[in-house]
């Protein structure tokens, strides 16, 4: 069989997300070719990717000849405008999380993708993390029983406020919009849409301009899901804590892929995604069992994008799933602002589409 032509990808943005995640994952996924990067830092891009074309103007990358897919890793406030331009140019689009600044922008993008017949997906890469895969497996095999309490943390110790857009007061800044989408997407994959969301956001570090502490409770009929992120947690906290009718499970440490990428390990290298931190399973009052978790591999997201475009396979993250994450993210922000529980503002058609996709 002749080798199939690779899909040509333009990456818009070469900050932390573009450099650390998207570029290495794209380069390691057969059938995808990173052909162009839009960045104002050409030297930084060429130091890592000497053979890739670099342009300063994102629209030049989006409209370049032969581009099939545009990956948007620009600051959050630029997601919707750049995705709109890419869809109108006839490109398939991957948007880094969050999908957009609000539900209205996300809905407009979804409608535009449908109008142009193009794939639109959001980079919820943490579905393919070892910690999440291990917890999901333990829930699915019934070892915990019916889950009553699920707690998910992204905690770090970064007491100094840094001069970067993620920590600024601009639209899309703050920890809830940065890490909230990861926490929400994983919860929705496990349990579906909540009845409502009660959240609190705060700026706790001296000099903080945006929220650097986020705590949300997703309410279900017989389950409570706690999502938490903080920047003043020395020593860390358990990544996942799950309590159910047959026992409990604790996963202490985070998936290693981000740390590996920062250290120069590339997807597919020896030990890629291998997690030496086991899941601790407490079956009732019995002694804890140490259960190895599956290796993580975020390349599976981009392999899914390739297969969806080439072969019509299901998207690894559908637009309906991404819209649901955006609705819960927006509900959390409204809850913190208004100090009340807020129902995610999805209509019946959107809820049904999420249910079909999940």
Contacts 24+ apart (CB under 8 A), 287-291: 291/134, 291/138
Q: Which tens digits make up the pLDDT trace of 283-304? A: 987 889 999 999 999 999 999 9
Structural domains in the chain, sorted by start: 7-123 (3.40.50.720), 128-296+330-338 (3.30.360.10)
Residue 3: pLDDT band by 50, 70, 90 thresholds?
Answer: low
Best CA proximity match to 67, nearest among 32, 103, 27: 32
DSSP label at residue 126: G
Q: Who's near 333: CB < 8 A, 6+ residues apart?
A: 176, 177, 199, 201
Q: Which tens digits make up the pLDDT trace of 122-161? A: 999 999 999 999 999 999 999 999 999 999 999 999 999 9
Q: Who's near 3: CB < 8 A, 6+ residues apart?
A: none
Query: For residue 1, is pLDDT > 50?
Result: no
CA distances in angstroms from 239 to 156, 253, 256, listed in the order given: 11, 6, 12
Quote the pLDDT of residue 2: 42
Q: Write out the two tokens for 165.
A: 């857009």
Query: Beta-carbon neighbour count of residue 357 at 10 Å?
Result: 16
Query: Beta-carbon neighbour count of residue 351 at 10 Å?
Result: 16
Q: Which tens digits make up the pLDDT trace of 14-64? A: 999 999 999 999 999 999 999 999 999 999 999 999 999 999 999 999 999
Task: State how far the Cα of 125 lies from the Cα of 269, in Å rounded to an integer.
Answer: 19
Cβ burial of 273 (10 Å; 0-12, 13-18, 19+) is buried
Best CA proximity match to 91, nearest among 83, 99, 81: 83
Q: Which residue has the tokens 């909230």?
A: 180
Query: Beta-carbon neighbour count of residue 245 at 10 Å?
Result: 12
Q: Write out the two tokens for 357.
A: 């996709």
Beta strands 248-251 and 279-282: pairing type? Answer: antiparallel
**Longest pairwise C-alpha distance within the chain:** 63
What mean pLDDT value characterizes the chain? Answer: 96
Q: Which tens digits make up the pLDDT trace of 212-234? A: 999 999 999 999 999 999 999 99
Q: Percent of the chain at pLDDT above 90? A: 93
Quote the pLDDT of residue 356: 72
Q: Who's near 255: CB < 8 A, 6+ residues apart?
A: 126, 129, 130, 131, 132, 273, 275, 296
Task: State how far the Cα of 351 lies from the Cα of 22, in Å rounded to an integer.
Answer: 30
DSSP label at residue 333: H
DSSP string across 262-324: HTT--TTSTTTT---SPEEEE-TTSPPEEEPPPPP-THHHHHHHHHHHHH-PPPSS-HHHHHH
């Amino acid at each position: 069989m002749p080798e199939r032509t690779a899909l040509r990808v333009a990456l818009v943005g070469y900050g932390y997300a573009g450099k650390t995640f998207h570029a290495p994952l794209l380069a390691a996924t057969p059938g995808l070719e990173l052909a162009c990067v839009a960045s104002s830092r050409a030297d930084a891009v060429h130091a890592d990717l000497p053979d890739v074309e670099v342009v300063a103007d994102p629209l030049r990358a989006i409209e370049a000849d032969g581009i099939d897919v545009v990956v948007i890793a620009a600051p959050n406030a630029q997601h919707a405008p750049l995705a709109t331009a890419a869809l109108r140019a006839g490109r398939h689009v991957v948007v880094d999380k969050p999908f957009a600044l609000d539900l209205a922008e996300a809905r407009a993008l979804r409608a535009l993708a449908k109008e142009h017949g193009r794939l639109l997906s959001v980079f919820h890469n943490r579905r393919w993390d070892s910690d999440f895969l291990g917890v999901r497996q333990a829930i699915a095999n019934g070892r915990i029983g019916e889950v009553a309490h699920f707690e998910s943390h992204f905690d770090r110790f970064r007491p100094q406020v840094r001069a970067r857009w993620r920590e600024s007061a601009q639209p899309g800044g703050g920890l809830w919009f940065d890490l909230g989408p990861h926490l929400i997407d994983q919860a929705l994959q496990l349990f579906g849409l909540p009845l409502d969301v009660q959240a609190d956001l705060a700026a706790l570090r001296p000099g903080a301009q945006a929220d650097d502490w986020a705590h949300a409770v997703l309410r279900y009929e017989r389950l409570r899901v706690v999502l938490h992120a903080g920047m003043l947690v020395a020593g860390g906290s358990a990544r996942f804590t799950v309590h159910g009718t047959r026992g409990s499970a604790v996963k202490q440490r985070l998936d290693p892929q981000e740390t590996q990428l920062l250290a120069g390990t590339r997807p597919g290298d020896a030990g890629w995604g291998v997690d030496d931190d086991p899941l601790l399973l407490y079956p009732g009052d019995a002694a804890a069992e140490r259960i190895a978790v599956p290796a993580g591999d975020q390349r599976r997201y981009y392999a899914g994008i390739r297969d969806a475009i080439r072969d019509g396979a299901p998207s690894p993250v559908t637009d309906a799933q991404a819209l649901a994450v955006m609705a819960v993210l927006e509900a959390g922000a409204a809850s913190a602002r208004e100090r009340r529980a807020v129902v995610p503002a999805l209509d019946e058609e959107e809820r049904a589409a999420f249910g079909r996709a999940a």
